[in-house]
Structure 1
Amino acid sequence: MTQPAIFFEEVNERQGVFHRRAILLGAFAGLGIGALGARLAYLQLLETQRYEKLATSNQFNFKLAPAPRGVIVDRNGAILAANRPNFRLMVARDKDVDPEATLKTLANYVPLDDARQRRLLRDINSAPKRAPVSVMEDMSWEQFSAISVRSPELPGVTADMGEVRVYPHGGAFAHVIGYVAKVNKEDIDKTPNPEPIMLHPGFRIGKQGVEKALDLQLRGRPGAKKVEVDANGREVRHDEAGDIPPVPGEEVQLTLDVDIQNRALEVFGEESGGAVMMDCRTGDILCMTSAPSFDANRFVRGLTGAEYRALAGYERKPLLDKCLSGLYPPGSTFKTMTALAILAAGISPEERVGCGGGMQFGGRFFHCHKRGGHGSQNLHEAIKNSCDTYFYAMSLRVGPDRIAQAARAFGLGQTFDIGIPGQKKGTVPDQAWKKRYFSKNKAMQPWWPGENLSYAIGQGYLQVNCLQLAVMTARLANADYKALNPRLIKSVGGKEWPRGSDVPDLPFPREHVDRVRAGMAAVTDQSQGGTAWRTSQLGLGDILMAGKTGTAQVRNYDKGGSRGKGGTWSLRDHGLFVAFAPLDAPRYALAVIVQHGMGGSTAAAPRAREIMRTALLKDPELVSRIQKPLPMPEIEPDLELDTVPDTPVMAPQNTPTPTAGPAPPRRDGGPT
């Protein structure tokens, strides 16, 4: 029987396969372990700092904190805008927070009406998650305490202390300084790369005036608070040692004077208008007041819709800056420019024009403000008496282009780099301007001779603002005959801004400017009987003021109508007055516009006098001049005594001698 054959594979061959597979698997495992070890070494040795920061960020967060906003001061260091602490209430949206229910609960402790709750609810729902939204500023201590003790029951609610902008002088500087307010969507959209701090509920942005123009310098650099958070990102505690301190904003110093500014707003009372005062030597603006004004502190806290509508709808426009944005006909104050144009045309200042109460031209009678007329007038007398007829007649010989040239040389129709926005250029017309203005109406493009008459007395197409009138007056009064520029911002962060006196000379002969100055001096001179001498006397000794009155019509009176104060306010004439003082060495130039104030001599000049007095009485040199002792009276020498006696000589006593009869009656009519 045949035995089955059993064949076995080679043992060494099987072992070789096993070894190869083991080595291959071992190599793969070694590579994996090596890569893992290398990765661990890389992470633990080379990336230590990075992952330490990531691990710390899971435990700690940095909350941005706005920097203290830079203060704004006047020329003497008085605070115009600063910061103060305030208690504020904030609500953040989170998964465990019902904003609507939270607001209703908070309404039990702070005043939140239904309309405000609906508005806040929209803000909270549109804000990023856990981003706090300001619910209330300036809480009282009682309100703050009531919220704080209930904070465990109010998830998402935070009551803490922040800073709020404060304006100590209320409305006196509101138009110049402006105000700050919360950042809105439009502010973020306007900014190319908005900073994260702009989303902070305590951050405020400048909205007007200096606050807006120098917002970046005033902001400073934000800091951060280091806080420990839980797994849900909620704050557990504050780690003060890890805080990053903010850098405060820069200090801004203005050229304004707080006393003059406050006095200017005070003298306007309920009237509407503007006043601008400049230093005739440097161009510094000492006062720029627009009346009526508004309290900027109310805008910081936030106005209700009804409050804003009340301000915006008031006919005297408290929100309008009447110094920069308000445009008015300059009236007879513009005759100073027409006078310069007359002199520049080569017309003798002694040439006379007869004034019989007006002038007939082109089938129309142009009235002078004095119905009976001024009689024969030369240039000096025409400025002193503000004779319209003289300037009517001379304007036909001068033409509009020369008048416009003089006006522009003295700052009218221009904007100035004073550091804040809002200026309106106004209109100083000439023949070329009229062609451009009526480009679509060829029939209206020629400059008609009759338009010269209105132009010469500051009416017609002419429109200026109060700042321009102040610049015009300061250039007229400047002792060096410089084309002064106004300066409002004195320094930012301790660095002084350019002075307004670093400018070229005026393009007019000095004797021409001197003649206009002499005419303005006569306007306020009692001995010469100028148009404003009764209401412009300073009462400061030998310190006198020169000026020019103006009354600007706002409508045509050919068809009748009252020009008095009994008429509709918006249809009354404007009152204007420009002045400089002291007369012998000018230091301060001033322009005052009283909107619908009826008369420069009655409405504007008295207010200008009070503002000018405040400035003069703050000047130490002028005060010493006012307070200097009177000279000793001259004593005639006694011709009988040529030597001093050794002993005093007593004067004889005048003993009354009794007389018979009744005593003479008293002059005051009292009992004798």
Structure 2
Amino acid sequence: MSEPTIFFSEVNERQGVFTRRTFLLGGITGLGLMALGGRLVHLQVVEAQRYQKLAQSNQFNFRIVPPPRGLILDRNGVTLASNRPNFRLLVSREKDMDIPKTVADLSVLVPLDDKRRERLIKDIERAPRQSPVQVTEDMSWEEFSRINVRAPELPGVTADMGEVRVYPFGGAFAHVIGYVAKVNDRDIKAIKDKGLTVDPLLYNPGFRIGRQGVEKAYDLELRGKSGARKQEVDARGRVVRDDPEGDIPAQPGKEIKLTLDADIQQRALEVMGEESGAIVLMDCRSGDLLCMASAPSFDANRFVKGLSGPEYKALSEYERKPLLDKVMSGTYPPGSTFKPMVALAALNAGIDPNARVSCGGSWYFGGRTWRCWGRHGSQNMHDAIKNSCDIYFYQTALKIGPDPIAAAAHAFGLGQLFDLGIPGQKKGVVGSREWKKKAMKREPVWQPGDSVNYGIGQGYITVNPLQLAVMTARLANGQKALNPRLIKSIGGVDQPHGDDVPNLPYPPETMNYVRGGMIAVANEAGGTAFRQSQLGLGDIRMAGKTGTAQVRVFRAGESRKGAGFAWKLRDHNWYIAFAPIDAPRYAVAVLIEHGGQGGATAAAPRAREVMRMALLKDPEIRARVEKPLPLPEVEHEAVEAGVAPELPTETPPPPPSPTGGPQ
């Protein structure tokens, strides 16, 4: 019997394998379908909002909108720095964009020279896609209209309106306020080197940051917070329409109010004329700075646009240095304006102010002849301050040595840096034995001749005009070691005052004596600034001190008046003053670089004019000036009440005149 060709055991075995594989594949398929379904549920339900936003981001872009920069005002609310509309032209690189042709088309609509066109082509090629490059700004309305009319024909080209910084007073406040300029690669690198995140606003082509003065020191406060403009774009990223409802408004920068007075600052620059120097005016009661004028100055508006190479070279190489802030950064020997500090130190050291020194015009000491600018005869301390006698202060400084003088100078603000909120101050030098030991390694010992020179504000002593104004204000106040204040408020928040300070370490009678000498300078006949210090404001008078600072050594018999010398070889001219003398309110320091010998010749008349402006603007002082003087007393004969007057008496007529007419 033949064997069957089909064995049911094999069929069953094969059927089992098929069934297992079917279940396995079905399970895998089921798990895949479940995972896919779960992922779809997760995407469509759980993360629906996230992907909705991503989809919208492909449809909409947000373009950064720079915030309006904060205003800078003077103490009375006068605008010193503001913003104005600015029509500008931008180009964004797009795919397949013919950059040279686009630039050539633009040069037909707005003026672009060959160099500018070449530079634009390079800038646009290097810029990231959709990152705008500024072609020009400050376009006229006609140019702005021409671009907008042809906008559909110019892919990637945008003409819009932004804001640009403007300084209404030009150069009057340039050194104090500073200016703004475009962000450069060094600025970006400096931020990255500090490990900070670069604000996207810095990449905006129209954005500018502070470069000097208040603009630089308070750049973040003035900058504000950027906003954004919502725009619908196509698949290529080109703007289709604006969506104003989705815009994020920008937050303007904070308003900064200074203690300066625009009228006084303007007057200071007017009286400076073509001279080089500085004028500082300070309130003797609060420490507020009302004037910080440095001359010559520069127009800050020119720096906002950007100076050309020749323009900057002309400014930087001009011998009168318009870019230098002479108020804080220029240091000079104070000359005879330092003598009140020497007198104060001498009184504190026990020197008798009535002791007399004979001035014959010269004094021989240490193998050389020390000269005075005049022959003053017998001088006590009061006379020496009034007449600015060098011989008296030569010998007085030699008696007391440098350290008491340096202590007085430091107490009154010399050799110090003040917290004004802006950079740029130079400390200067106030010599002492300890200072020379550290600073002069070749000759560390203080010599007697150093003291002689020191006594008249020459040698190891340099100051800036701000320090001299502080010195004068502290001396006029007579009690408080006032600190100068420049920033009055930030965003409406008042800043610390300059009168919240300790008292001066000198007795009132000592300071009164020195002030008496300064009063004599300006108000007694023979005072070195008597004629130049008359304010013409009734009974309000000014006290002062003249100063001449040498810039070179003069040969014997050579005149120091400056006639015939080159400008840079003449002496510096100083004058410090305060007024009114009975209740000091304002202190002023004036420097005229290379103004010639005698502080009364150039500095004192300018100090008088600035002081007059400040006094007349002060309501209290003005009321005092305008108060009518009392009528002179006239003696009247006593008349009893009810008594009739005497009858007139007859007198003979006057004789006729020879001509027959009236006499």
What range describes the TM-score normalised by the shorter chain of this pair? over 0.9
1:213 to 187, 202, 217: 217
Letter in 2 for 1:377: Q
Task: Give the superposition deviation at 1:9.
Answer: 4.1
What is the alpha-carbon distance in structure 2 between the residues aligned to residue 265 and residue 36 of structure 1?
80
Letter in 2 for 1:544: R
**Alignment match, 2:403:** 401
What is the alpha-carbon distance in structure 2 between the residues aligned to residue 506 and residue 63 of structure 1?
57
Task: Report the more deviating stretch, 484-493 or 108-117.
Answer: 108-117
TM-score (norm 2): 0.95
**Alignment match, 1:111:** 111
- Check conservation: 1:550, 1:600, Cα contact below 8 A: yes
Give the secondary structure class of the aligned counterpart of 2:264.
Answer: helix
- Work out the number of aligned pairs and report it: 656
Give the secondary structure class of the aligned counterpart of 1:106.
Answer: helix
1:238 and 2:236 matched = no
- Check conservation: 1:616, 1:622, Cα contact below 8 A: yes
1:436 and 2:438 matched = yes
**Alignment match, 2:54:** 54
**Alignment match, 1:65:** 65
1:547 and 2:547 matched = no
What is the alpha-carbon distance in structure 2 between the residues aligned to residue 573 and residue 262 of structure 1?
26
**Structural mapping, 1:528-607, within 5 Å:** 528-558=525-555, 563=560, 564-598=562-596, 599-607=598-606
**Alignment match, 1:667:** none
**Structural mapping, 1:132-171, within 5 Å:** 132-171=132-171
When residues 339 and 145 of structure 1 are mapped into structure 2, their CA distance, relative to the original with a 3 A threshold, is same
- Check conservation: 1:340, 1:516, Cα contact below 8 A: yes
**Structural mapping, 1:484-495, within 5 Å:** 484-495=482-493
When residues 311 and 648 of structure 1 are mapped into structure 2, their CA distance, relative to the original with a 3 A threshold, is farther
Task: Give the superposition deviation at 1:428.
Answer: 0.7
**Alignment match, 2:506:** 508
Letter in 2 for 1:551: T
What is the alpha-carbon distance in structure 2 between the residues aligned to residue 654 and residue 179 of structure 1?
85
**Alignment match, 1:497:** 495
Letter in 2 for 1:523: V
Give the secondary structure class of the aligned counterpart of 2:545.
Answer: strand
Give the secondary structure class of the aligned counterpart of 1:347.
Answer: coil
Task: Give the superposition deviation at 1:67.
Answer: 0.9
What is the alpha-carbon distance in structure 2 between the residues aligned to residue 653 and residue 451 of structure 1?
83
What is the alpha-carbon distance in structure 1 between the residues aligned to residue 140 and residue 651 of structure 2?
77
When residues 344 and 137 of structure 1 are mapped into structure 2, their CA distance, relative to the original with a 3 A threshold, is same
**Structural mapping, 1:117-132, within 5 Å:** 117-132=117-132
What is the alpha-carbon distance in structure 2 between the residues aligned to residue 663 and residue 312 of structure 1?
76
Task: Give the superposition deviation at 1:214.
Answer: 0.5
1:78 and 2:78 matched = yes
Task: Give the superposition deviation at 1:156.
Answer: 2.3
What is the alpha-carbon distance in structure 1 between the residues aligned to residue 303 and residue 660 of structure 2?
76
What is the alpha-carbon distance in structure 2 between the residues aligned to residue 557 and residue 122 of structure 1?
59
Give the secondary structure class of the aligned counterpart of 2:254.
Answer: coil
Task: Give the superposition deviation at 1:136.
Answer: 1.8
Task: Report the more deviating stretch, 176-185 or 103-112.
Answer: 103-112
Give per-residue Cα distances to partners, 1:140-173, cap 9 Å, x unaligned: 1111112222222322221100011111111111
When residues 42 and 561 of structure 1 are mapped into structure 2, their CA distance, relative to the original with a 3 A threshold, is farther
2:303 to 280, 296, 299: 299
Give per-residue Cα distances to partners, 1:530-572, cap 9 Å, x unaligned: 1001111110000101010111111111267653143111111
When residues 34 and 284 of structure 1 are mapped into structure 2, their CA distance, relative to the original with a 3 A threshold, is same
What is the alpha-carbon distance in structure 2 between the residues aligned to residue 622 and residue 539 of structure 1?
13
**Alignment match, 1:622:** 621
5+ residue gaps, structure 2: none
Task: Report the more deviating stretch, 100-109 or 322-331.
Answer: 100-109
When residues 435 and 126 of structure 1 are mapped into structure 2, their CA distance, relative to the original with a 3 A threshold, is farther
- Check conservation: 1:312, 1:319, Cα contact below 8 A: yes
Give per-residue Cα distances to partners, 1:578-631, cap 9 Å, x unaligned: 110111000101111011111310110011111000100001111111011121
Task: Give the superposition deviation at 1:270.
Answer: 0.8
Task: Give the superposition deviation at 1:235.
Answer: 1.4
Give the secondary structure class of the aligned counterpart of 1:321.
Answer: coil
- Check conservation: 1:109, 1:143, Cα contact below 8 A: yes
Give per-residue Cα distances to partners, 1:419-453, cap 9 Å, x unaligned: 000001111111121121222x2xx2211111111
1:376 and 2:374 matched = no
When residues 652 and 394 of structure 1 are mapped into structure 2, their CA distance, relative to the original with a 3 A threshold, is farther
Give the secondary structure class of the aligned counterpart of 2:93.
Answer: coil
What is the alpha-carbon distance in structure 2 between the residues aligned to residue 122 and residue 470 of structure 1?
52
When residues 642 and 73 of structure 1 are mapped into structure 2, their CA distance, relative to the original with a 3 A threshold, is same
- Check conservation: 1:96, 1:155, Cα contact below 8 A: no
What is the alpha-carbon distance in structure 2 between the residues aligned to residue 427 and residue 636 of structure 1?
63
Give the secondary structure class of the aligned counterpart of 1:138.
Answer: coil
Letter in 2 for 1:44: Q
Task: Report the more deviating stretch, 562-571 or 603-612.
Answer: 562-571
What is the alpha-carbon distance in structure 1 between the residues aligned to residue 581 and residue 336 of structure 2?
20
What is the alpha-carbon distance in structure 2 between the residues aligned to residue 338 and residue 546 of structure 1?
18
When residues 69 and 566 of structure 1 are mapped into structure 2, their CA distance, relative to the original with a 3 A threshold, is same
1:338 and 2:339 matched = no
**Alignment match, 1:391:** 393
**Alignment match, 1:669:** none
Letter in 2 for 1:135: V
When residues 153 and 464 of structure 1 are mapped into structure 2, their CA distance, relative to the original with a 3 A threshold, is same
TM-score (norm 1): 0.94
What is the alpha-carbon distance in structure 2 between the residues aligned to residue 74 and residue 189 of structure 1?
34
5+ residue gaps, structure 1: 665-671
Give the secondary structure class of the aligned counterpart of 1:369.
Answer: coil
What is the alpha-carbon distance in structure 2 between the residues aligned to residue 280 and residue 163 of structure 1?
40
1:34 and 2:38 matched = no
When residues 379 and 261 of structure 1 are mapped into structure 2, their CA distance, relative to the original with a 3 A threshold, is same
What RMSD in Å do the two structures reach over aligned CA positions?
Answer: 2.3
1:317 to 292, 308, 321: 321
When residues 535 and 650 of structure 1 are mapped into structure 2, their CA distance, relative to the original with a 3 A threshold, is farther
Task: Give the superposition deviation at 1:232.
Answer: 1.4
**Structural mapping, 1:453-492, within 5 Å:** 453-479=452-478, 481-492=479-490
Give the secondary structure class of the aligned counterpart of 1:555.
Answer: coil
Task: Give the superposition deviation at 1:322.
Answer: 0.4
1:364 and 2:362 matched = no
Letter in 2 for 1:535: Q
**Alignment match, 2:612:** 613
